[in-house]
Amino acid sequence: MFSALSPPNPTMMFDRFTPILTRLHRWLGSLLGVAEDFPLHLPDWDLPKLAGTVGEKLRPPQTDTASVKSTPVISPTGLNLRKWFNLDIIAPVIVGILFLVGWEVAVRVTGMPHYLLPGPILVVQTLFQEWGTLFPSLLITLQITVVAFFCATISGLLISILFTQSKWIERSFFPYAVILQTMPIVSIAPLIIIWLRNNTFAAMVVCAWIVAFFPIISNTTLGLNSADHNLLNLFQLYKANRWQTLIYLRLPSAMPYFMGGLRISGGLSLIGAVVAEFVAGTGGQRAGIAYQILISSFNLQVPRMFAALIMVTSLGILIFVSMSALSDKMLGKWHESAMRREN
């Protein structure tokens, strides 16, 4: 019990006698008539401080509160618990769980037939039952998406570099890129499929490429034209040629814009592939996930449709996360948008 009490302060203890000694000093001074010449020297109540190595040994260690607060909580298994149990992750997870619970309860309470709106439990059960059919179709869609995205990346980058070589080239061809982007893919997909009727896979890749290539052109062209003019003047002063200016100045300046275009085009490639499959409507062993959704809608297999939608959505999220990780890897060490701040 006594160990919990704080030790008494000697200075405070002797301060109680100071007024009494002062009054006694004044009374004696008035009696002797030497009050001004008889100063009262009160002792220094402070305890002598330890000095040297002894003081350093007995001095309590100072704790750095900032370092204690910033130290991550590491579990015995090596997982960073603070990274996973923060509000940015817990809040959307709780909202998603509440939404699924409300959805399941609403379906059961209202007695909604499964061919109109199935509950999430039935959708998950259907996903596991139809996995052998839906997953190969998803791989076909993934192939179309990856090929179209690769073509859009290469062609978009090359066209953007061509645009920055001359303002006349950019002004002459950029409007046609805008026209191609604003043209509804559903309206021109049948024409492309007719033109490439001997190769349906190539036709769907072309449809997905049309949807995906414009964000890369637009972002990369903007980035290439956003190079610092002072640095451009410096390159011209040192007589750098176009190739040197492009490699050492324009491309590094355009890298954040290019990575932003990749993030957008990754999802658009998937959307273009799904739309092309809807229009093509091809079956057989080369049927994509959109064809499975069409067949399920014709047969009123709504739980199967939801299962296919979950797979397509998961693929889109995976593509976005992959592009975000690639962007952080490319820009994390030098660009302000991806560098981590300490505070």
Least confident stretch, 171-185, 193-207, 270-284, 304-318: 270-284
What residues are paired with 74 via a beta bridge? 80
Closest by alpha carbon to 218, among 185, 250, 262, 165? 262
Distance CA 29, CA 36 (A): 8
Running DSSP on this structure, what letter comes out for residue 240? Answer: -
pTM of the model: 0.71
CB-based burial, 267-282: b 16+ in 10 Å, e otherwise? bbbbbbbbbbbebbeb
Band of pLDDT at residue 254, cut at 50, 70 and 90: very high
* Amino acid 121: pLDDT: 93
Band of pLDDT at residue 167, cut at 50, 70 and 90: confident
Q: Give per-residue pLDDT as tens, 65-119.
A: 444 444 555 555 555 666 666 777 788 889 999 999 999 999 999 988 988 899 9
Q: Give per-residue pLDDT as tens, 275-316.
A: 888 887 766 566 789 988 988 988 889 999 999 999 999 999
* Amino acid 68: pLDDT: 45
Closest by alpha carbon to 181, among 144, 222, 204, 152? 152
Where do the H-state alpha helices sit in the chain?
A: 10-15, 18-32, 52-58, 65-70, 81-84, 87-110, 120-129, 131-165, 167-182, 185-195, 200-225, 229-237, 242-245, 251-280, 289-298, 302-331
User: Does the structure show a pLDDT above 80 at 253?
Assistant: yes
HSE-CB at 342 with a 13 A cutoff on CA atoms is: 3
Residues 261 and 215: beta-carbon distance below 8 Å: yes
Determine whether 202 is exposed, middle or buried from the number of CB atoms within 10 Å of its CB (0-12, 13-18, 19+).
middle
Mean pLDDT of 11-36: 57
* Amino acid 223: pLDDT: 92
Distance CA 327, CA 166 (A): 28
Distance CA 192, CA 203 (A): 6
User: Does the structure show a pLDDT above 70 at 36?
Assistant: no
